Structure 1
Amino acid sequence: MEAAYKKPEQEQSGWKSKSSMPSLPEVHQSMNVPKKAGFFRKLLAFMGPGYLVAVGYMDPGNWATDLAGGSQFGYTLLSVILISNLMAILLQALSGRLGIVTGRDLAQACRDHYSKPVSFALWLLCEIAIAACDLAEVIGAAIALNLLFGMPLIYGVILTSIDVLLVLLLQKKGFRYIEAMVISLMALITICFVMELIFSRPDFAAVAAGFIPKTEIVSNPAMLYIALGILGATVMPHNLYLHSSIVQTRKIEPTIEGKREAIKFSTIDTTIALMLALFVNAAILILSAAAFHSAGKEVAEIQDAYHLLGPMLGTGAASILFAVALLASGQNSTLTGTLAGQIVMEGFLNIRLSPWLRRLITRMIAIVPAVIVIGIYGESGATDLLVLSQVILSLQLSFAVIPLVKFTSDRKKMGVLVTPKWMIILSWIVAVVIAGLNAYLLYSTFFG
C-alpha cells in the first residue's frame, strides 16, 4: 500500500515535508461511493463519520458537566450548550475538509508543517487531552456498571479495556460495522432521553429562555467554570484529529469536483449528527434542571442523580434508563477514543505498529490513570474528576483548533478548495474566543 499511495504534487506544494502513508491505512478508501446515484443514496454512502465524531459530544464527561450545570443554575447554561455545538459543527466541517482535500489527518498535517520539537509538543498535549477524555469515558462506563449491576468501579474500569478487542474485530469485518454499532448505541441513548424528558415534564418556556445567552455566565466564576467544562466536553480536541482521518475511509474521485462533492456530503453528515448530540446534551441539562434545580437539590455526582431520579420523577424506570444511556455513552466513547489515539500516535510520530499493539498502548494511557485515580479518591471523587477532565480538554482545545484553522485557510495547502472567507473569519473568531475564555479561567483559578 505504501508504494501504491501517492498524493498529487499540487497538494504537496504548501507542505514542508511529504506524508508517504495514508491515515488509518487498514481502512483507507475501503468504502465505495456510488458514482451515478441520487442525492439521498450518496448521502447514505457518506453518512457515518459524523456520528463517530458526535459520540464524543455526548460522552460521560458531558453528563457530569450538564448535570452540575442544570442542578446548580437551572436552564441558564443551555445557551452554552447551543453555542458550543455550533462551534463544533464549524470546526468539524473544517476538519473533514482538511482530510478530504489534502489526504492528511490533522496530526499528519502538523507533522508535515511544523518543526520536530513543535510537533512533539503538540503530540504530548494531544495525548494529555486524550487521557483526560478517556478518563471520563472509562469512569462513566464503570459508574454505569456499578449502578446497574453493583460492580465495583475499579473492575468496571478494567472491563472497559475489552473494547480494544471489539474495535479490532469490527474493523476486520469492515469500517461500516464500527459505524453501525456506534449509530445503534446513539439511537439507544436518544430513546432513553426522550423517555426521561417525558417523565420530567420540564417548563418549556424556561427551556426556550435558557437558549438565550446571559452576561452572568461570564461574571459568575462558578458558572464560568461549569460553562468551560461544557465547552471542553462539547468541542473536543481529539475529535478534530479523528474526523480528519475517518472521512478518508470513503473512496472518492480524486478530482476537484469529486472532493467538492465529498466536502458537501461530509458537512451534511456532520451537521445532522451533531444536532442529535445537541439534543442529548440539552436533554441531560434539562432533566437535571427539571428534577433537581426546581427542588433545590444540587447534584454533585452521577450516582446521586441515579438514586434521586426515581423518587423525584415518580418512576423507577427513570433511574434505569439513565444508567443504560450512561453505559451506552461510555462504551461508544471508548470505541472512538481508541481510534483517535491510534490516529494521533501514528500521525505525529509516524510510528507503524501492529493494530492490536497500537490500541493496547492508547488504552493503557487511559486505563492506568483511571485505576490510580479511583484507587486514591474512591467512588466519591469520580464525578469531580469527570468535570475536571472536561476543563482540561477545554484548555487543550486551542492547540488543535489554531493549527486546523491555519491549515484550512492556506491556499497553498488547500488549493482551489481553500475554506471560504466567511468560514475563515468565523473560525478565527471561534479560536480567539476559546483561547480568551481559557486564559480567563486560568487567571480566575490562580489569581481570582
Structure 2
Amino acid sequence: MKDHHPHKSLDDVHESVPIHGGKSKFKRVISFFGPAYLISVGYMDPGNWATDLAGGSQFGYALLWVLLMSNVMALLLQSLCTRLGIVRGKDLAQCNREIYPKRMNFVLYVLAELAIAACDLAEVLGMAIGLNLLFGIDILWGVLISFADTFLLLYLQRLGMRKLELFIVGLISLIGMCFLAEMFFAQPELEEVVTGFVPSLPNSAALYIAIGIIGATVMPHNLYLHSALVQTRKIDRDEHGIRKALKYNFFDSAIALNIAFFVNAAILILAASVFHKNGMHNVAELQDAYHLLGTTLGTEWAPKLFAIALILAGQSSTITGTLAGQIVMEGYLQLRISPLLRRMLTRLLAIVPAVIVIIVFGDEKVGQMLIFSQVLLSMQLAFAVIPLIHFVSDKEKMGAFVIGAKIKFFSWLIAVVIAFLNFQLVYEEVTDWLSEIDNVGLQACIVAGALGLFVLLIMTIVYPWILKRKPSRSDIHISFDDLEFKQASSFRTILLALDFSKSDEKVISQVLQYNPAISRLILIHIVESASVKYTGGQSDDYETRKDLARVEQYAKFLKEKGYDVLFELGYNNRIKAIRTMCGKYSADLLIVGSHGHNGLKDIVFGETVNKLRHAVKIPVLIAQ
C-alpha cells in the first residue's frame, strides 16, 4: 500500500465516483456497483456465441459445466484484478512496467494491443452480422457502419463514469430480456438442463469445443480494464476502507459475471433444445442459427430477438475495448493520446482486416475470421494472468492484503489450465495453417513465432522469482528529486508576433514588463495576402505596404518607451515564418497573442498557437 502512486489509471475519471457516506448500507453498496458490468460484456461478446452454439448443437446440454467452470475461473481472476487495483492503486499494465524489462514489456504491450484488436474484430463482425440478419444490410456496409460508434464512447465519457456504467447495464438488461424470451419460446426441459452441470466429455471433439469455450470466455483485456475501473471509486485508503471496497467489488463481480454466465448458458441451452434435439448437430455459424430459429420454433420473434441481442452484445463490448486500449498504452508506454485518435486507431485495426477479407474472399469467410479473433485472444491470455498472480502474491507490495495459500494454489491451477488449453487451441490452429501453406519461409516464420511466444511465457513466469526486482518505473512524471532548479537569465531578445487584432494590446502589455536596458525587441507580422499566396513569397502589393506601415507604428511606440526595436515582415506560412525569425534573431522568448477561437473555427481560420509551441525551441508566452 505504500506505493500508491500519483500516476493514475484513466486519469480523467480516477476517483470520480464518491462512495455514499450515509447510514443506508444499500446505497453504499450500490456506489461500488458498475465496473464489473463493463467487464461482463467481454464475457458475452459475439466471439463467445459461436463456441456456445457449436457446443449446444453438437453435444446438447453436456458442456454446460464447462461454462460454469469458466465462470468460476473468471470470477477468481477478476477478483484478483480488483484486489490489485484497490490495494496497489495501479493497473496491471503499470505493474508489468514496474517489474519486467523494457523490451519484454514492449512485446507484452504489442500482444495486449493485438488482443484488443482481435476482440474489437469479433465485435465489429458480430454487429455487422446482426445488422445483416435484422435489416438485410450487406455485411461490408455493416462493418463500415460500426465505425460510427467511435464517437459514442467519447460522448458517454463526457457524461461521467456512472452514466457510462448505466448505459452498459441497460444494454446488458436488454440482452438478458431477449434470451429470457428465447427460453420461453424454446421451453427446454429443466431436468435435462441440470444434467449438463455434471462434468463429462463425450468424445475428443467435445474436448476441442470445451477448450474453445474456455478460451473465448476469459478475455485478457478485461484483466487490464478491471484493475483500472475499480480505481474510479473514491474510497478511504485505510485498512477498513480497503477491506470494504474489496468485499463490495466482489459482490459486484459475482452478480455481473453470473449475468454473463446466464447469457452464455442461454445460447448453449437454446442450441441444445432447438438444434440438437431436432438432429441439427453442426450449427456453429451465427447466420445458420438465425435462419433455423424461425423455422424450428415457429415464431418470427425468435430470430429477430437473436439478432437484436447480437447487435447489443457487439455494441456494448466495443465500448470497453477502447478503455482497455487506453489503459494498456498509458501503462506500458506512458503515452497519452487523444481519446478520439485512440478510438479510431482501435476501430481501424479491426475494420481494415475485416473489409479486406470480405472484399477478397466474400461473406463466407466471416465465420473463420471470428474463430481467428478468438485464437489471437487465446494467445495473449496467459501473458496477462501469470503476471497478475505474481503481483497479488507479493507480500512486500500487498501487505495485509496479499492472497492466501489456498487462493494462490487455485490461481496458479487456473493459470496452468488456461495456458494449456489456450496453447492447445493455438497449436490446433497453427497446425491447420501449416498444412494449408506451401511456402517454406512462411512456415518457418509461423513456427519461430510460436516458439518465441513459448519462451516469452517462460520468462513471464520465471522473471519475478529469479531476477532482482527493478525500481519502480511506472510514474509518468520524472522524480522530484531528479529535478534541478536554476535561476533563469533575463530574456535579451524577445520576438513579438503581431496579427493586428485586439490581441496585440495584450502582447505589447506583456513586453512592457521587461527592462528596456536589457531586452531587445523584434516585431514581426506575417503577410498572407492573395498576392503572397500566389507567389509563395515576398510581394510589394498594397496589403504588404499597409502592413509594413502598421508595424512601424508599433516600433515607434516601443522606441519611445526606451526599447531597442527591430521589425520585419514574414510571408505566406505563419508557423514556418515565425520559426525562421526565431532562428534568424536568436530569440530567447516568443510572445504571441491567442487567436481567440477554437473548435470549428480552428478548422476554418487555422490555429497558430498550438502548432507554434511544438515548432520552436524557445519559451512561448501566450498573451490572453
- Counterpart amino acid of 2:334? N
Which residue does 2:381 correspond to in 1? 397
Instruction: Please identify, of 369-378 and 194-203, the stretch whose mean Cα deviation from structure 2 is larger.
Output: 369-378
In the TM superposition, residue 270 of structure 1 has moved relative to its aligned partner by 0.5
Task: Kindly name which structure, 1 or 2, has the bigger radius of gyration based on alpha carbons.
Answer: 2
Match for residue 272 of structure 2?
Answer: 289
Contact 2:97 2:105 in 1 (8 A): yes
Q: Distance in 2 between matches of 1:371 and 1:255?
A: 52
- Partner amino acid, structure 1, of 2:335: I
Q: Aligned residue for 1:356?
A: 340
8 Å Cα contact 2:118/2:376 also seen in 1? yes
Deviation at 1:39, TM superposition (A): 2.6
* Partner-residue secondary structure (3-state), 1:294: helix
Would you say 1:242 and 2:239 are equivalent positions?
A: no
The equivalent position to 1:382 in structure 2, one of 366, 375, 392, is 366
**Does the 8 A contact of 1:228 with 1:391 survive in 2?**
no
Query: Does the Cα contact within 8 Å between 1:61 and 1:390 map onto a contact in 2?
Result: yes
Residue of structure 2 equivalent to 1:86: 72
CA RMSD of aligned residues (A): 1.7
Is 2:141 the counterpart of 1:152?
no
Is the 1:230–1:390 Cα contact (8 Å) retained in structure 2? no
Change in CA separation of 1:369 and 1:443 when aligned onto 2, cut-off 3 Å? closer
Question: Which residue pairs with 2:586 in the alignment?
Answer: none
Query: Of the candidates 291, 307, 311, which is equivalent to residue 323 of structure 1?
Result: 307
Q: Identify which of 223, 227, 230 aligns with 2:206.
A: 223
Look up the SS of the partner of 1:26 in the other structure.
Answer: helix
**Alpha-carbon contact 2:201-2:207 (below 8 Å) kept:** no
SS in structure 2 opposite 1:75?
A: coil
Q: CA deviation at 1:42?
A: 1.2
Give the conservation status (yes or no) of the 8 Å contact 1:135–1:386: yes
Q: Is the 8 A contact 2:329 2:336 kept in 1?
A: no
1:111 to 84, 97, 122: 97
Equivalent positions of 1:35-434 (< 5 A) are 35-216=21-202, 220=204, 222-297=205-280, 298-434=282-418
Greater Cα shift, 303-312 or 383-392: 383-392
Q: Match for residue 5 of structure 1?
A: none
Larger RCO: 1 or 2 (CA < 8 Å, sep 6+): 1
Offset at 1:244?
Answer: 0.5
1:164–1:338 Cα contact (<8 Å) kept: no
Q: Distance in 2 between matches of 1:176 and 1:24?
A: 14
Larger displacement relative to structure 2 (362-371 or 38-47): 362-371
What's the offset of the Cα at 1:84?
A: 0.4
Structure 2 Cα separation of the partners of residues 438 and 57 of structure 1:
16
% identity of equivalent residues: 55
The match for 2:588 is none
- How much has 1:296 moved relative to structure 2? 1.5
Distance 2:32 2:357 in 1: 40
Distance 1:362 1:347 in 2: 17
Q: Distance in 1 between matches of 2:143 and 2:429?
A: 30
Matched residues in 1 for 2:358 and 2:23: separation?
52
Q: Say which SS state the counterpart of residue 12 (structure 2) adopts.
A: coil
State the 1:206 CA deviation.
2.0
Work out the CA distance in 2 between the residues paired with 1:313 and 1:238: 37
Contact 2:51 2:284 in 1 (8 A): no
Counterpart-to-counterpart distance in 1, 2:299 and 2:424: 42
Report if aligned partners of 2:93, 2:331 keep a CA contact under 8 Å in 1: yes
Higher fraction of helix: 1
Aligned-partner Cα distance in 2 for 1:77–1:373: 32
* Conserved 8 A contact 1:99-1:105: yes
Deviations 1:209-253 (A, max 9, x none): 11111144xx50x32332222112211100000101111111111
Contact 1:301 1:383 in 2 (8 A): yes
Residues in 2 aligned to 1:21 and 1:30: alpha-carbon distance in whole angstroms: 15
Aligned residue pairs total 431
Q: Using the TM superposition, give the Cα deviation of residue 403 of structure 1 relative to its aligned residue in structure 2, in angstroms.
A: 0.4
TM-score, structure 1 as length reference:
0.92
In the TM superposition, residue 170 of structure 1 has moved relative to its aligned partner by: 1.1
AA at the equivalent of 2:85? G
What SS is found at the alignment partner of 2:51? helix
- With structure 2 as the length reference, what TM-score do the two structures score? 0.67
Are positions 1:11 and 2:15 aligned together? no
Inter-partner Cα distance in structure 1 for 2:191 and 2:360:
44
Q: Aligned equivalents of 1:156 and 1:276: distance in 2? A: 28
**1:352 is paired with a residue of what secondary structure?**
coil
SS at match of 2:11: coil
More strand by share: 2
CA contact 1:199–1:313 (8 Å) conserved in 2: yes
Aligned counterparts of 1:373 and 1:407: Cα–Cα separation in 2: 40
Show structure 2 runs of 5+ residues with no match: 433-624
